[in-house]
């Protein structure tokens, strides 16, 4: 991670000739045209409310560079992450005349980033995509690493492709307009990175003053938190781009239950909220397997509660239904697969088919009946 002008941070995702930069700071959206030089057309995929706030900055930058840019809107919510949306975008791109040498910009949160990224991967068998995330969750996680995809009724992100962006612009100024619930939900992913071992990030979340500044959306604190989180993901992606060594699966800490909660609950929980519950579940499961000390689950709950994140699943969910969905998780190899700390609280690793008693304890810890 290297500093740049005006307090900005630059993180490099090292992938040989496909390497790219993640730029974090205030006002970085204005640099979009420089990240896509020489393009005749750029399709900016966004949602109505986001485009109303931020699309003009992009359009002005592309206009100054002599690039024809147009906004293409998609619907809000996880329901928009569908093959139908991908088809609609592709048809609109084709009608406009977007070609393989042109580009797509994903301006929005995770729904936009995943959907626009997958559409870019499929359209003309792959066009360049610049990620311009406008939510905390997308800036620290979803926009980085090239995972793109859409949902099926049977589960989240079951159809997708690896399609690395040509760059990621994390403009922390966009976080000022986030609804409070969405901002706090993004802190669920930030907490995940703290548990992955960044001591300074963990100290920021644990310190009352720093936590208060983060909740107040102080741009300096936000830049540091986003950059530190992004650096962790960038390092993992650089080492295991396509999840072939198992290292990249560690980014799914807390996500096995989280994705099942989202699907079964019809996305009543925001992703970061589901991750927060998943972190409590994973910590309790690890403690039940003597991988973490007995006090770890309480410490996890305390950190998440400080940021107003849920630590229990919604009422009315059954463990059997969640297990059915967890068996479909992309990490799974025919059974149940979790990412947990190594014994003694060591680095995260894959754990297959833990004992039933440990699972029951973890489910009980998040308020799910057997």
CA atoms within 13 A on the CB side of 353: 3
pLDDT digits 0-9 by tens, 184-198: 999 999 999 998 877
**pLDDT given at position 4:** 46
Q: What is the 3-state secondary structure (H, E, C) of 125-181?
A: HCCEEEEEECCHHHHHHHCCCCEEEEEECCEEEEEEEECCCCEEEEEHHHHHHCCHH
| Residue 347 three-state SS | strand
**pLDDT given at position 246:** 79
Q: Tell me which residues are annotated as active site.
A: 125, 147, 189, 233, 243, 248, 252, 255, 259, 271
Domains in the chain with CATH codes: 2-177 (3.40.50.1970), 253-370 (1.20.1090.10)
End-to-end, the C-alpha distance of the chain in Å comes to: 45
Residue 56 CB partners (closer than 8 Å, separation 6+): none
**pLDDT given at position 339:** 93
Alpha-carbon dihedral 65, 67, 73, 79, rounded to 10 degrees: -90
What is the distance between the alpha carbons of residues 253 and 67, in angstroms, rounded to a whole number? 41
Residue with tokens 């006090």: 295
**pLDDT given at position 32:** 96
**pLDDT given at position 202:** 86
Beta bridge partners of 46: 73
Which positions of the chain have pLDDT values less than 70? 1-6, 330-334
pTM: 0.90
């Amino acid at each position: 991670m290297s500093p740049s002008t005006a307090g900005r941070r630059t993180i490099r995702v090292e992938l040989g000739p496909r390497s790219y930069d993640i730029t974090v700071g205030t006002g970085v959206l204005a640099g979009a045209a420089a990240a896509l030089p020489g393009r005749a057309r750029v399709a900016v995929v966004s949602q109505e409310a986001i485009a109303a706030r931020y699309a003009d900055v992009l359009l002005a930058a592309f206009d100054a560079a002599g690039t024809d840019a147009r906004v293409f809107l998609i619907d809000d919510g996880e329901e928009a992450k569908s093959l139908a949306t991908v088809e609609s975008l592709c048809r609109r791109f084709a009608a406009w005349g977007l070609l393989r040498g042109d580009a797509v910009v994903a301006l929005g949160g995770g729904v936009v980033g995943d959907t626009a990224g997958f559409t870019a991967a499929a359209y003309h068998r792959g066009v360049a995509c610049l990620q311009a995330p406008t939510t905390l969750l997308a800036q620290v996680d979803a926009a980085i690493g090239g995972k793109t995809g859409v949902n099926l009724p049977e589960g989240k992100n079951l159809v997708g492709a690896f399609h690395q962006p040509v760059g990621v612009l994390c403009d922390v100024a966009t976080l000022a307009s986030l609804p409070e619930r969405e901002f706090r939900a993004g802190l669920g992913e930030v907490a995940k990175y703290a548990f992955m071992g960044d001591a300074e990030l963990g100290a920021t979340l644990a310190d009352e003053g720093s936590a208060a500044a983060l909740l107040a959306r102080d741009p300096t604190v936000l830049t540091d938190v986003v950059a530190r989180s992004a650096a962790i993901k960038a390092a993992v992606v650089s080492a295991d781009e396509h999840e072939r060594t198992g290292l990249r699966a560690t980014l799914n800490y807390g996500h096995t239950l989280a994705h099942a909660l989202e699907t079964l609950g019809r996305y009543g929980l925001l992703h970061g909220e589901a991750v927060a519950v998943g972190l409590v579940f994973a910590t309790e499961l690890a403690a039940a397997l003597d991988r973490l000390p007995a006090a770890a689950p309480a410490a996890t709950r305390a950190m998440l509660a400080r940021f107003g994140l849920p630590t229990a699943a919604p009422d009315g969910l059954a463990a059997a239904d969640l297990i059915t969905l967890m068996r479909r998780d992309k990490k799974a190899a025919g059974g149940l697969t979790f990412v947990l700390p190594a014994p003694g609280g060591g680095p995260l690793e894959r754990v297959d088919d833990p004992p039933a008693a440990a699972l029951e304890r973890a489910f009980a810890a998040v308020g799910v009946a057997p």
